[in-house]
Amino acid sequence: MILRGGIEAASVRNVAAEAGMATGSLRHIFPSHESLFIELMADNATQAAAQIQAVYARELAAGTPMRDMFLAVLREVIPLTDTTRTQLVVQLALFTAHPDSAPIRESIKDAGAKLDQLCTDIVGQLRPDLAPTDNASANLATDLRVALDGIALRCLENPAFATDATSRGAEATLTRALDRITEARITEA
């Protein structure tokens, strides 16, 4: 619904109609527009976590090398498919439509913290030579997160980037970002 008509289309009345419910019934479940949006964001987060866990399980069962497994996991984070594109568009629409809403900001913060943790975990696995609390490890995790954010926005801005199979496409860019972590030479300042 948000993809078709923007955030304005996600009124309680329209959501109820799309769900085949009476508006009053939906208002009983979600007393405010904000509570509806928070639930939508929570559902998005749950769906994304399930997708990531499924990829981990599949890749571990297949004996996929660690780097390739992490590439597969990170592909679930950037909008390469209709599902992941929808998840990102919805998250951005909700956040930008209600920047002053503390509960929505908290939901966005939680989603961001989960992605930060994923990046930290990946760096920890790819770089066991670094202590998780080292600045170098934290910097690499931040670099990975910023690369993911940039790739994601580029995919939204230019959908052809998401499907470009050349060295200039999203997957190749993601691969280079991950390779920079494993190849980074760490020097103490």
Q: And the tokens for 16? A: 């109820």
pLDDT at 39: 83
pLDDT at 162: 94
Contact assessment for residue 5 and residue 15, using Cβ atoms and an 8 Å cutoff:
no
State how far the Cα of 165 lies from the Cα of 108, in Å rounded to an integer.
31
Q: In terms of Cα–Cα distance, which of 173, 164, 109, 101 is closest to 144?
A: 173
State how far the Cα of 123 lies from the Cα of 96, in Å rounded to an integer.
30
Between helices 33-62 and 66-75, what is the axis angle to 10°? 150
- Which pLDDT tens digits describe the chain residue by residue (189 residues)? 666 766 676 666 777 777 787 878 777 777 777 788 888 888 888 888 999 999 999 999 999 999 999 999 999 999 998 888 988 888 888 778 777 888 888 988 998 999 999 999 999 999 999 988 889 999 999 999 999 999 999 999 999 999 999 999 999 999 999 999 999 888 655
Written as one letter, the residue type at 24 is G
Q: Where are the domains of the chain?
A: 1-31, 38-183
CA distances from 49 to 14, 28, 54, 162, 178 (A): 28, 28, 9, 21, 20
Tokens 């103490």 found at? 188
Sign for the CA dihedral angle at 71, 74, 79, 84 comes to positive
CA distances from 77 to 43, 112, 155, 160 (A): 15, 11, 12, 17
State how far the Cα of 1 lies from the Cα of 106, in Å rounded to an integer.
23
pLDDT at 6: 67
Q: Which CATH superfamily is domain 38-183 in?
A: Tetracycline Repressor, domain 2 (1.10.357.10)
pLDDT at 163: 92
